[in-house]
Amino acid sequence: SLNIQIPTCSTEGSKRPAAREKACWSTHQREMHRSSIAGTSVSERKFAEKLTILNERGQGILTRVYNIKKACMDPSTRPSCLAEKQLEAAIKHINRRFPNVDTKDKAHLTAISSFQKDILTALPNYYYTFVGVMEFKDITSELVTSLATSQFHLDISLNYDLTKSLLDLCALFVSMMILVGQIEDRRAMIGLYSIAHETQRGSSDSNFPRLAQMIVDYEHPVRKMAEEFIPLSKLILQATMSLCKVFVRRNLPAEQLRTQNVLSVSANPQMMLSPTLSNELPCEFLSLETMHRWILLGFLLCSNQLSHPGASDLWKLALQDGYAVSLYRDEVLAIHSVYEKLLSDSKDKSDRKRVSDVNESLNVALLHAGPLHRDRRKHLTSALKELFLLVTDSPGLLGPKCITVLTALTLACDEVKWLFKHTAMNAPKGKHKPVPDDYVDPWLHELLFYIISLKSFMRKNHRIIQTYYLRFMGGFDAQLMRDVVMRIQVCPEDESLIMTSFVDTLARLQGKETDDRAEFDFQALRLDWFRLQVLTSVNKAALSLKDREHGDLAPAMNTVVVHSKMADSFEELLVETCDLSFLCFFYRQFEGEFNKCLKNTSQVRYIIAYPLCCSEFMNSTTPYCPEERINIGDRCVNTINHFLELIAKEVKTVVGVVCAERLQIDEQLIPSKAVGHYLHDHPNKGKQKSKAPPVLVEPGKESKRKTLTGTMAKDSNLHKLVDICYSVNCFQNITAWDHTFVPREYLVSHLEDLFIKNVFSMLHYSSELQEISRPSEVLMRIQSFMASLRLLELHIHIDMTRVLTAVLLQETQLLDSKGDSTITSTYTSWYTSVLLKRVSSGGVCFSKTRHCFVSRKALLMKAEEYTDIRELEALAEIIGPYGVRFLGEKLMEQISGQVKEIKKLVKANQDTLLALHTNRDKPDIFNEVLRKLRNTDDLLARTVIVGILMAFRKLTLQALHSVLCYRIPFMLSSIEDFKSNLLDRSSQVANNMASSAGIMCDVDPLLVNAMRAHCDKSKEDYDIWKLFLAFVGVTLPELALKTESNFIPNFEGHENNAHCLAIAVNALAGAIFGYYGPEHQRDMMKEFLVFTSSRIMTLAKETEKEKDAPKAREAIYVLLDLFVSESPFLTRDLLEGCFPYSLIRDAYNFLYKKQPTSRSKTRDTETPF
């Protein structure tokens, strides 16, 4: 139930509260009304207007009474003054002495004065709502008495509006008085307010005596109403008995509905385009639930008339339909116990004998009502599905068959309400117990779906219905009314004027074209027909509807009224006949059914019906109780949002399962899985099996099925995904309370979350073991997952490219939208902190021929599995240009750290290096100063690390370039053309753009940015970096003394990665001296080449027979050649001028013809490719 807080109103001053003036008539007005009745004609009494207004006002008062009851039942919304402990004694005294409460009794009522302000603030609306109930009761009694004294003839098939209004009024009155009797705090609220009012103003409220008497009289409301309405029972019986024919005809079991083709349009193809015509057209879609309520609540007012012929049969038929009757919204009455108590307390013996009929009807209802309604719901589901398929295929059928569709919708909504109200109430005790399965409908979701779908389709094509019935009214109806009026011989003046207006109104529609802007309003016509019913239903009227000679008038006008509603108030007609807003008040059951549907694979395709039903919640509001509009609106919006979120989460779950299954199948095809099959098919006969072989799964085995049981889980997941996507895709948006919901948009965020979560898990990263999947494997998993997500586009209109792009773009950044780590940050951390760290520690060699790092020792991780061309291209495709740039920036941070330490080493040896550079042509002095040089190994090691990092940087740029050549060839060619034709080749803008596209530059722009922190463009700084080159050139010959400097021809690299010195020196020189101008880059490298060549030439003078002879002299010669080949500033001509190229050629010849070391002597051997 909704927690409606009844707003309070001010009681200050002598002015009466506005709520009181709206809720009731004053005593003076009521007396004037009574005096005006005598001596007036039927037309002057305005019965039609009074019934219309009284029903509307009564609905508002009933809503307020309902909200008072709910508020008093909930401790959080109950008036605070009723829960005060200091007022408990006073409230008990008021309840015991009500209504004769002595306000001067200080022993019990003194505490009220201290809470007077709170009482007068919290209780006025409650009090004046009860006053409104009292006034409504008096006016209803007077109006029904006037109708009875005027001797009206009531028949639902003739004067439909008059009979319906009276039955609505009676049912409204009964419901209101029963609900008032169920409010336990009614005496306390009325008594507290009256005492507080009298204390403040000196006198009690003028309405209190009558109101208090009504509360006392209606302590047992059913018995009191039956006594008061005894004089009016014949009129109510007449109206109720007129329902007999319609109720029996409509209350058919499913088998009869099926055999009689009541709801089938295709059963008679010849009549498919013929309109539905009937002498009782308004009764065709009259709610069966409404008639059931009219009958049972009506007989509470005229139970003394059950002995009337046929009354008992109709009464028992209604009692056998179920054990619950709706009072209002979710307030349900156990009708059998009410009748049992009413009849057993009756003084009439015949009434007491009917108690057995009540018990017998209860047993029939417990035994047969559940199965009957279950079968009827099942039949209505298939009937609505057939109608929906027909009208969607041929929307033009909505014109002639709109009545049939409305009839089916009305019956379906009645069945839904019957099920909910009976499951909300515990079954009464009887001889039989109801079967629980009869009240659990697994096909309810489908029924709701087709109700909503048909209503939505009818709203969408309302223009077809309006055009059809406007032409029908201007043609057939106009001619029919003209003929009916012409046949009337005697007609009073008032009736003649009304019928003439009918004919004129219909005649004006002949030949009139309609367009989208045309508006029609036939309310005046319908009100005139209501007035005419009043005039022609009075006893001894000159023109009577029940006379045979005027028998065509009522069917004709009832048909015209129905057609007019189709033309100008179709939405109101839908609300009147097939509204589902009552589900708002059965929220727990409604939410439970939604959860059942979400778990039911066969019914999940209809899940969207539940948020669509919520969009109708606002239809339950009334302008006479505006304060509940916000509460119902909030529930409407929040429920739709909640349901759509759960649907999106379910789609996310099912998609995740389907993608995981697809990924598992695709992983069986990766190359590493083939090794197991190969070893299984080619066992090693020389070795015994030490353990059981692993279980191998043959790829494609899941597609081999003899029965469906083997793969039922995968099939059911796929079917569920298709069905739930169909449901979400059925309706583009849901509009409720000025909010618009787009179901498909709810999927976007959840699919993004699913993709982000699964993409990161595909790394299989272990921070403890420092293990991570190869980029090619991760790329395969991502592509498999994306292929599965792409399947959604076959079943739902959603831009999956946007989802995938958004997620993959986040993975190229440092953090995703939730602030978690991404693939880029994880791979960057792993490559820089784990892989490259192991390279610098030894055992891994950078191979120029293989374009990767190769492990030369038995390590847990093979570097070539993560750095070869295929893996780095996969990495570049995953992290993209943004990720490669981020990886480069992290590499530059490490290079910057090494450069900082190198600069410290140079400064520490600055004087020595300066002396070496000055005396490079004086061997004796040079050798003496050379002995003073310190930290040479540290310098070489750090420079090698810089070279390793720059080598990896080049590999990533090459991989990115090859990926972009395939992905964006035209854009890449434009970037290359722009860079190659730029006049200023050293422009950082062009270099940055080219580097981001993987295009090699003479100087890496990221390295240039990183070196800015170590260069201040001063003369001292310039000299330091100049000495750095000298430091490297001086220490190079020392590498020849180390066996780790051996050259590996297959790798084109040195065992200790000394060849990376060439990469490091050229990169650092280009970046550092670029600040001073391009000419300095060339000059410094030329000077470095000359100085280094002279130092390496000293190695040629030493013979191999000497004890300290260099062991890797040829490898250092090759290293000198690499300095030139890796440099964009040096050429072979410069090298030839400084160093004999014959020595380099002989060195290459010697190294490539040298026999490799035997595997038995060392484990530091070359691994097979």
What lies within 8 Å, CB to CB, of 425 at 6+ separation is 323, 324, 332, 334
* Structure confidence at residue 11 (pLDDT): 34
Beta strand 739-741 with 325-328 is: unpaired
Collapse the DSSP code of 1119 into the 3-class scheme (helix H, G, I; strand E, B; otherwise coil) and give the result.
helix
Token pair for 525 = 């016509």
User: Residues 272-328: pLDDT tens digits?
Assistant: 889 988 888 899 989 999 999 999 999 999 999 999 999 999 999 999 999 999 999
What confidence score (pLDDT) does residue 984 get?
A: 64
pLDDT of residue 1158: 42
Q: What is the pLDDT of residue 687?
A: 54
280 or 17, higher pLDDT: 280
The burial class, CB within 10 Å (0-12 / 13-18 / 19+), for 827 is buried
The confidence score (pLDDT) of residue 652 equals: 92
**Residue 174 pLDDT:** 96
pLDDT at 1096 over 60: yes
CB atoms closer than 10 angstroms to residue 785: 23
Bridge partner residues of 736 (DSSP): 739
pLDDT score of 516: 61
Please report the pLDDT score of residue 12 as a whole number: 35
Compute the average pLDDT of residues 405-434: 93
DSSP state letter for 365: I
More confident residue, 499 or 2: 499
**Considering only CA atoms, which of 406, 407, 384, 518 is closest in space to residue 463?**
518
pLDDT of residue 33: 46
pLDDT at 1163 over 50: no
End-to-end CA distance of the chain: 75
pLDDT above 60 (res 407) = yes
Q: With a cut of 80, say whether residue 103 has pLDDT above it.
A: no
**Between the CA of residue 953 and those of 884, 960, 1050, what are the distances in Å?**
9, 11, 22
Backbone angles phi, psi at 843, to 5 degrees: 90, -10
Helix (H, G, I), strand (E, B) or coil at 324: coil
Taking only the tens place, the pLDDT of each residue in 184-197 is: 999 999 998 988 88
Q: Among the listed ranges 406-415, 693-702, 958-967, 1018-1027, which one has the minimum average pLDDT value? A: 693-702
Least trusted range by pLDDT, from 106-115, 619-628, 919-928, 960-969:
106-115
CB 139 within 8 Å of CB 32: no
pLDDT at site 295: 96
Mean pLDDT of 416-420: 96
Residue 661 has what pLDDT?
A: 87
Q: Cα 616 vs. chain centroid, distance in angstroms?
A: 18
Q: How confident is the model at residue 390 (pLDDT cuts 50, 70, 90)?
A: very high
How far is it, in rounded angstroms, from Cα 1094 to Cα 1115?
Answer: 16
Q: Which residues contact 390 (CB under 8 A, 6 or more apart)?
A: 265, 266, 397
Q: How many CA atoms lie less than 13 Å away from 719 in the CB half-sphere? A: 11
What is the DSSP-derived secondary structure letter of residue 1? Answer: -
User: Can you give the pLDDT at residue 685?
Assistant: 60
Instruction: Give the pLDDT band of residue 108 (cuts 50, 70, 90).
Output: low
pLDDT band at 716 (very low <50, low <70, confident <90, very high): confident
pLDDT tens digit string along 519-568? 889 999 999 999 999 999 998 888 888 887 888 899 999 999 999 999 99
**Average predicted confidence (pLDDT) for the chain:** 86
84-95, pLDDT tens digit by residue? Answer: 888 888 888 888
Give SS3 for 961.
Answer: helix
Specify the higher pLDDT residue, 651 or 5.
Answer: 651
* Average pLDDT of the segment spanning 954-959: 94
Decide: residue 948, CB within 10 A, 0-12 exposed, 13-18 middle, 19+ buried: buried
pLDDT for res 378: 95
* Per-residue pLDDT at 369 exceeds 90: yes
Q: Render pLDDT for 876-905 as a digit per residue (tens, 0 to 9).
A: 999 999 999 999 999 999 999 999 999 999
Helix/strand/coil percent split, the chain, to 5:
70, 5, 30
Instruction: Give the rounded percent of residues in the chain with a pLDDT score beyond 70.
Output: 90
DSSP-derived secondary structure for 2-18: ----PPP----SSSPPH
Cis peptide before 99 (omega within 30 of 0): yes
Instruction: Give the Cα separation of 162 and 529 in Å (integer).
Output: 10
Identify the weakest region by mean pLDDT among 511-515, 1012-1016, 1086-1090.
511-515
Give the C-alpha separation, 522 to 564, whole Å.
6
Q: Is the pLDDT of residue 343 over 60?
A: yes
HSE-up of 878 (CA within 13 Å, CB side)?
Answer: 30
- Residue-level pLDDT at 680: 67
One-letter amino acid for residue 617 of the chain: F
The mean per-residue pLDDT over the stretch 693-707 comes to 68
Give the distance from CA 482 to its chain's centroid: 56
Q: 857's torsion region: left (phi>0), alpha (psi -120 to 50) or beta?
A: beta
Instruction: Give the whole-angstrom CA distance, residue 1001 versus residue 961.
Output: 12
Closest CA to 137 of 39, 43, 65: 65
The type of residue at 68 is I
Length of the chain: 1169
pLDDT at 27: 44
Which CA distances in Å does 1017 have to 328, 1020, 1070, 1076? 88, 8, 14, 7
Give the separation between CA 1093 and CA 916, rounded to whole angstroms: 15
Q: Quick one: pLDDT at residue 3?
A: 42
Place of tokens 């005294």: 93
pLDDT band at 1093 (very low <50, low <70, confident <90, very high): confident
Nearest residue to 1038 (alpha-carbon basis) of 1119, 1127, 1141: 1119
pLDDT, residue 45, reads: 84
pLDDT tens digits along 906-930: 999 888 888 888 887 787 888 888 8
Q: Average pLDDT in the 672-682 region?
A: 70
* pLDDT digit string, tens, across residues 210-231: 999 999 999 999 999 999 999 9
Which range, of 543-552, 597-606, 651-660, 977-986, averages the lowest pLDDT?
977-986
pLDDT tier, 986 (very low <50, low <70, confident <90, very high otherwise) = low
CA dist., res. 597 & res. 605, Å (int) = 9
pLDDT score of 453 more than 60: yes
Distance CA 947, CA 1064 (A): 4
